[in-house]
């Protein structure tokens, strides 16, 4: 069980140690041994894997009190032996913070995909973006907790950080207004300063100036760099995407699919840094539209939920905030050949019936 999670480096796979593994075959042994094991020698890297897992009931309420034996984590079909299962919670005061619960903060990035360039084709899309901004501001004013950290970002020809992680409600309200309007942060300047010297930060870990623009010409790369900038934060991060999707249309009149050139790197960065994406659809249609499948896949692949066909934007925001009141930090050790770098896919489940579980689906190792 890890008692000081802030000693870890990037969320996801953490390199713990390199161990020499040597198995020397011998004809000697027990009476049951009938063949000699061949000699071999190899070096492996032992990686400590940390997984942030949300477990809720069917109504989205977090479930506390589970232990290591209640979870199933598999790599390549092999169940891994868990070394820890700690429950982190934002519940304080009467009725919150029971035995074995560790106080924690929630982290939210409000991400606005600029719709102004589509305004001529979709007349009410910009109005929807403004409604999303007002819903976000209502949540910030009335339901954001003192321990929450919120950042405001967006994309419009480049990644934009309208405000770094902060607990300042007034600053966030203005940042959301700017994001909904697509206004460049601090017009005439290419960079901003981190909001805090000691708290979580995006700007501290992002390229600055024209280099940020050069590296984030596509929304895939912008969101990927944003995910990697959260890697220093130990805990689950939630990216609330307000937009209509950015998948590639699969043939004339078809539905959108992830762009195979860029999506794998984005998916791996989101999972490796424990960033769950919650797409909040700005379209007006009640039926499934061209980007629906893509947005659903983006949520599914990162442990989030896709929201569409709701009346008020506060509805999905409240649901997202509620299910992130508490989460489990699972830990285990995995071995990979020394010097090898790659991406390990995961399957995370639970032995508890009738619950909903959300978790990252892989992590990077080595390199």
Kindly list the structural domains of the chain, giving each domain's residue range(s) and its CATH number in brackets, ordered by start.
5-24+41-103+327-365 (no CATH), 107-323 (3.40.50.410)
Q: Is 186 left (phi over 0), alpha (psi -120 to 50) or beta?
A: left
Instruction: Encode pLDDT of 8-64 as tens digits.
Output: 433 344 433 333 333 333 333 333 343 444 444 568 888 899 999 999 999 999 999
**91 SS3 class:** coil
- Confidence category of residue 101, pLDDT binned at 50, 70, 90: confident
Q: Given CA atoms 161, 166, 361, 343 in this order, what sign does their dihedral have?
A: positive
Q: Stretch 67-72: mean pLDDT, rounded?
A: 96
Query: Residue 72 burial (CB < 10 Å; 0-12/13-18/19+)?
Result: middle
Q: Stretch 290-294: mean pLDDT, rounded?
A: 94
pTM of the complete model: 0.84
* C-alpha count within 13 angstroms, C-beta hemisphere, residue 230: 30
What's the pLDDT score for residue 253?
Answer: 67
CB within 8 A of 139, min separation 6: which ones? 314, 317, 318, 321
What's the pLDDT score for residue 172?
Answer: 97
Q: Given CA atoms 278, 107, 275, 332 in this order, what sign does their dihedral have?
A: negative
DSSP state at residue 205: G
* Mean pLDDT of all residues belonging to the chain: 84
- Confidence category of residue 250, pLDDT binned at 50, 70, 90: confident
The pair of structure tokens assigned to 180 is 């909904």
What's the pLDDT score for residue 41?
Answer: 53
Q: Given CA atoms 264, 244, 168, 193 in this order, what sign does their dihedral have?
A: positive
Q: Given a cut of 50, is residue 1 above it in pLDDT?
A: no
């Amino acid at each position: 069980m890890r008692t000081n999670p802030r000693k870890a480096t990037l969320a996801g796979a953490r390199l713990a140690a390199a161990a020499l593994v040597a198995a020397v075959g011998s004809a000697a042994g027990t009476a049951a041994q009938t063949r000699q094991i061949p000699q071999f020698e190899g070096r492996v890297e032992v990686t400590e894997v940390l997984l942030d897992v949300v477990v809720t009931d069917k109504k989205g309420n977090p479930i506390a009190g589970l232990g290591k034996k209640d979870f199933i984590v598999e790599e390549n079909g092999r169940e891994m032996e868990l070394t820890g299962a700690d429950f982190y919670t934002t519940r304080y005061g009467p009725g919150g913070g029971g035995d074995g619960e560790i106080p924690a903060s929630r982290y939210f990035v409000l991400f606005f995909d600029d719709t102004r360039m589509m305004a001529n084709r979709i007349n009410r899309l910009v109005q929807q973006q403004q409604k999303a901004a007002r819903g976000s501001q209502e949540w910030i004013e009335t339901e954001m907790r003192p321990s929450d950290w919120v950042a405001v970002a967006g994309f419009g020809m480049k990644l934009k950080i309208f405000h770094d992680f902060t607990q300042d409600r007034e600053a966030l309200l203005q940042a959301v207004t700017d994001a909904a309007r697509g206004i460049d942060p601090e017009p005439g300047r290419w960079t901003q300063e981190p909001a805090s010297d000691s708290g979580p930060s995006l700007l501290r870990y992002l390229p600055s100036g024209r280099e940020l623009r050069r590296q984030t010409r596509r929304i895939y790369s912008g969101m990927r760099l944003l995910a990697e900038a959260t890697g220093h934060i130990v805990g689950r991060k939630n990216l609330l995407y307000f937009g209509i999707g950015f998948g590639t249309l699969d043939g004339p009149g078809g539905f959108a699919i992830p762009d195979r050139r860029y999506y794998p790197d984005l998916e791996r960065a989101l999972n490796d840094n424990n960033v769950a994406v919650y797409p909040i659809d700005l379209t007006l249609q009640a039926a499934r539209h061209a980007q629906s499948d893509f947005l659903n896949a983006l949520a599914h692949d990162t442990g989030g939920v896709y929201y569409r066909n709701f009346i008020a934007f506060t509805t999905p925001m409240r649901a997202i905030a509620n299910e992130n009141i508490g989460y489990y930090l699972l830990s285990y050790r995995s071995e990979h050949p020394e010097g090898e770098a790659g991406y390990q896919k995961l399957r995370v489940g639970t032995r508890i019936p009738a619950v909903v579980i959300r978790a990252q689906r892989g992590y990077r190792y080595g390199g």
